[in-house]
Amino acid sequence: MSSKFLRSFAACAGAGIAALGISETGLIRKMVFAQEQPNEGRHKVLIIGGGTAGTTVANQISRKGQITEDKITIVEPSQHHYYQPMWTMVGAGMYQKEDSRRLTKDYLPSRSQWIQDSVQSLQPDENAVTLRSGRKLHYETLIVAPGLQLDWHKIPGLVDALEDASCPVASIYHYRHAEKAQRVLSGLTHGQAIFTVPVGGIKCGGAPQKIMWTWESSWAAAGTRPKIDIAFASPLLTMFHVRKYGAALDEMATARGVETLFGTELVAVDGPARRATFRDVKTGARAERAFDALHVTPPMSAPDFIKQSPLAAANGFVSVDRGTLQHARYPNVFAIGDAADLPTSKTAAAICGQAPVLVHNLHQHLAGRPLTAVYDGYTSCPILVGGGKLMLAEFKYNQEIAETFGAFGDQSRPGRMPYVMKRFVFPRIYWDSFLRGTWYGPRTWIPPSFPDAP
């Protein structure tokens, strides 16, 4: 019995399906899955992760047309897809958290196979992936795009403090906690507010200070700012790692009276006592600080199944060529997004540059030709600074500045237009175009072209 027959059957049974409270798409996926599971064979393209990177790549592969959708398989456990950059704005009171969430199935290629499961382990020498359910998948090519793992537990006391509704500890780095950030920070009228950054790579490196600047501005507008002391704790020695933008943000911190606790990391939280412990990253010395509001960016890392696999570099991320995105040892494996070991900021904007490169090189590999597309490290950090303004930091590898609107002015100076784009335009582009595989960052809707090697 063919998948085509099953789809036709399910389509004809629409009324009965609805009466049972089952979606037609869901039934089709279940029926096709049930049919293929016993003898599914090798997956042409297996994608780990249905977040921004995985979904975008799946749709760009589909649009290219050389690989049919039914040859694309996505492993993603979550029923919902989240526009995570919106969580900063949820914490700032600009959106409700529900605005950031939609159904995963609505954004995957319609005829692709979605396996709603998590990855347990990787066996690249066997071209295989083992799922939590025990099911083992074999692939012809593998794209690793699971995003980052948030290691909340690495800070003792943090999880309990976040779950305690009465404790003024919050984080915009999770759907469930973003609205608490808004409640905690909007309710602060005096005292000490601390915002933290962990050691190591994080998604959206500017987010820890976006939420800070936004509320600093709001407190100033409300007249409570003189009664609130603000501290920003970071293991870096500057507000931002790219020199041009870091210098501008350092000046802003001084001008707006933000205490900078550079060279430190948060290592413990005592929610009931309202005290946070910080460690000097050079000396290891520890010091406690009292707080009335604490916003925490948790430590992050590659998922454990990557760290424990042959795909991992020494830092735990997927070892890939920084230009071609192909694995250093396994040529039929590619990686994209936050889990890839690339020396650039982990942002959604970076995926705009990475996705077309990966898709082109994937097809080159399958055709037995040299990989000719090269990712230049482009990424972007739109940093909300309050007052309806935003600093749009754009750069490539080696901190090379790559400003889209540089001809109109220095982007290290916050502007109104980038703010409007971030708050009102980008969310719509994300849902309607980015995830559909038709948005290419600074190139807008014009895809890049790469040479086809003979």
Residue 427: phi, psi to the nearest 5?
-60, -40
Half-sphere exposure of 226 (CA within 13 A, CB side): 1
Which of 12, 167, 352, 381 does the annotation list as catalytic?
Answer: 381
| Residue 206 in tokens | 């500017």
Q: Residue 391 has which token pair?
A: 């600093």
φ/ψ bin of 143: left (φ > 0), alpha (ψ from -120 to 50), beta (otherwise): beta
Q: Which residues pair with 74 in a beta bridge?
A: 47, 114
Query: Are 352 and 336 spatial neighbours (Cβ–Cβ below 8 Å)?
Result: no
Tokens of 274: 């309202």
pTM tops 0.75? yes
Handedness of CA 268, 272, 171, 418 (dihedral sign): negative
The reply to whether 12 belongs to the active site is no
- What pLDDT tens digit does each residue of the chain (454 aa) get? 444 443 444 444 443 334 334 344 444 443 333 333 433 579 999 999 999 999 999 999 999 999 999 999 999 999 999 999 999 999 999 999 999 999 999 999 999 999 999 999 999 999 999 999 999 999 999 999 999 999 999 999 999 999 999 999 999 999 999 999 999 999 999 999 999 999 999 999 999 999 999 999 999 999 999 999 999 999 999 999 999 999 999 999 999 999 999 999 999 999 999 999 999 999 999 999 999 999 999 999 999 999 999 999 999 999 999 999 999 999 999 999 999 999 999 999 999 999 999 999 999 999 999 999 999 999 999 999 999 999 999 999 999 999 999 999 999 999 999 999 999 999 999 999 999 999 999 999 999 999 876 6
Q: Say whether 381 is catalytic.
A: yes
| DSSP H or E run through 244 | helix 243-255
Residue among 199, 198, 201, 145 at smallest CA distance from 318: 145
Q: C-alpha angle 313/335/376, rounded to 5°?
A: 95
What does the alpha-carbon distance between residue 24 and residue 33 come to, in Å, rounded to a whole number? 14
CA gap 179, 165 in Å, rounded: 11
Q: Which of 12, 167, 204, 352 is catalytic?
A: 204
Alpha helices in 65-222 (DSSP H): 86-91, 158-163, 175-186, 207-222
